[in-house]
């Protein structure tokens, strides 16, 4: 990859677009937390019993500008000190039966409303990656880090069955790094180029009702 690439032709949101996006995120995240705090509390307590550990899954991710932050989700896996991979496949034995329900219904994603409220995430954008992915981008592809990572987005929707895809691969971690992740980067760059407020609304609706 040509590391001499500049950001001149890289897609980006204007100041007014970024402001509209942030105001929308803040208002919707605040309303969302007021409406579903009780569900998050119940899911947290259930996950504590189910995994016999802290019901919140907290992990360092790479955010806007390459800055690290702690993403918060409902825990869906049993603690496993023997496994080091960050790739999750369908049928992963670490996922509990209750965890599968939380994943299928997206209840495990609800605590990220707090990340959105704090300005660490957006409702729509690239998924926040663990170190070793987004923070290694160079050239124009670094534009992915010019916006806040999202709970959902076009790449998330395109690969909504990602766990099943990886389960069919003999080397899932390599396939994720060499095939899926590069494609996600291109999808997210196109999202930034084509960004509209109503486009974000459409992605949220597709996530909730799709």
Q: What is the pLDDT of residues 88-133, one digit of tens each?
A: 655 678 899 999 999 999 999 999 999 999 999 999 999 999 888 8
Return phi, psi of residue 34, to 5°.
-65, -30
Please report the pLDDT score of residue 1 as a whole number: 41
Please report the pLDDT score of residue 163 as a whole number: 84
Return phi, psi of residue 29, to 5°.
-65, -40
Query: 112: which 2 tokens?
Result: 């990220």
Separation between Cα atoms, residue 133 and residue 188, nearest integer Å: 14
Q: Are 115 and 71 in contact (CB under 8 A)?
A: yes
Please report the pLDDT score of residue 2 as a whole number: 46
Residues of the chain scoring pLDDT < 70: 1-8, 81-91
Please report the pLDDT score of residue 62 as a whole number: 94
Task: Report the Cα 165 to chain-centroid distance in Å.
Answer: 18
Please report the pLDDT score of residue 148 as a whole number: 97
Sign (positive or negative) of CA dihedral 121, 124, 129, 134:
negative
Distance of CA 64 to CAs 23, 92, 146, 202, Å? Answer: 17, 30, 6, 23
Please report the pLDDT score of residue 93 as a whole number: 81
Separation between Cα atoms, residue 20 and residue 111, nearest integer Å: 23
């Amino acid at each position: 990859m040509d590391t001499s690439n500049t950001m001149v032709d890289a897609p980006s949101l204007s100041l007014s677009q970024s402001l509209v996006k942030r105001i929308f995120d803040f208002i919707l995240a605040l309303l969302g937390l007021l409406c579903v705090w009780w569900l998050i509390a119940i899911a947290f307590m259930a996950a504590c019993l189910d995994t016999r550990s802290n019901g919140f899954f907290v992990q360092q991710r790479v955010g806007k500008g390459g800055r690290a932050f702690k993403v918060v989700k409902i825990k869906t896996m049993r603690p496993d000190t023997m496994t080091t991979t960050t790739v999750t496949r369908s049928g992963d034995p670490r996922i509990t039966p209750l965890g599968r329900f939380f994943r299928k219904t997206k209840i495990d994603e609800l605590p990220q409303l707090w990340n959105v409220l704090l300005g660490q995430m957006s409702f729509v954008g690239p998924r926040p990656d663990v170190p070793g992915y987004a923070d290694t981008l160079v050239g124009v592809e670094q534009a992915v880090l010019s916006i806040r990572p999202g709970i959902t987005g076009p790449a998330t929707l395109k690969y909504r069955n990602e766990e099943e895809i990886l389960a069919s691969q003999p080397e899932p971690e390599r396939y994720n790094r060499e095939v899926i992740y590069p494609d996600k980067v291109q999808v997210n760059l196109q999202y930034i180029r084509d960004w509209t407020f109503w486009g974000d609304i459409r992605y949220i609706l597709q996530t909730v009702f799709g």
